[in-house]
Amino acid sequence: MSRARKTAVPISGLDEFQHVLADFRSLSGLVTKAGAGLPLADYLSKLGPPWPVPGWVPVITVIAELIVLICVFHFWYGLPQKTLGTRFRWTLLLLCLSFVMYAVLSDVYLFSPGSDNTRIVLGCRLQPAVAHVISPTYSVYDALKGNEYDPYGVYQPWSITFMGLVLLLLWLVMFSSLVAVIGVFVMYERRRPVDSTATVHAPSATTEPEDASPRR
């Protein structure tokens, strides 16, 4: 006789969420913790947006990641495998788009005036007095230097707040979609049978053929 190996389906999303967080040595546990720990590395590398306050961004990001991960396991744990595969593709696409948009906008609207990795948010609308003096020989960066790298003396305050908010939202979307991708991937892989075609054969016992001759 033979039987196919099956994986146990979690009772609820909370049950599956607890299994993933408790599994420290598995790939899924390590990947989940890495996704949550990446924003904390921003505290040292300063790759994230400096608005509203540089020290707050990693904390806000981790909280947003945890909320998204809980929502993924709560609302999507009962979905069939095919639907989970579709959700995985869409969240992966959102991750790629937010990454590209953040990379482009941060290159344009984040400026580092010194060598200590401290960055400031630039606005999208110049002050009227500054806009009149900008020329091929006097750039925006010259105006920033003349204002001791105070962006509020060069750009209109609302434009600085607007760009800072856009960069922060893209940053949060990027990492939230990252943990969503991880969560969907973990659910998909944990529910898929280990090997639906593999069979486990019971050890066969060799028996002596009975003597069919009549007993005397």
182 pLDDT higher than 70 = yes
Q: What is the pLDDT of residues 105-128, one digit of tens each?
A: 999 999 888 766 678 899 999 999
How far apart (Å, rounded) are the C-alpha atoms in residues 156 and 123? Answer: 7
- pLDDT, residue 199, reads 46
**Cα-only R_g, the chain:** 28
Of 53 and 145, the structure prediction assigns the larger pLDDT to: 145
Would you kindly state where each structural domain of the chain is located, as residue ranges? 10-194
Average pLDDT, integer, range 158-172:
94
Dihedrals phi, psi of 40, to nearest 5 degrees? -70, -30
Per-residue tokens: 188: 């998909």
Per-residue tokens: 204: 């066969």
How far apart (Å, rounded) are the C-alpha atoms in residues 159 and 162? Answer: 5
Residues 6 or more apart from 64 whose CB is under 8 A from it?
172, 175, 176
Per-residue tokens: 50: 């400096």
Q: What is the pLDDT of residues 129-154, one digit of tens each?
A: 999 898 888 989 889 988 888 999 99
Q: What secondary structure does DSSP assign to 160-193, as a single string?
A: HHHHHHHHHHHHHHHHHHHHHHHHHHHHHHHHS-
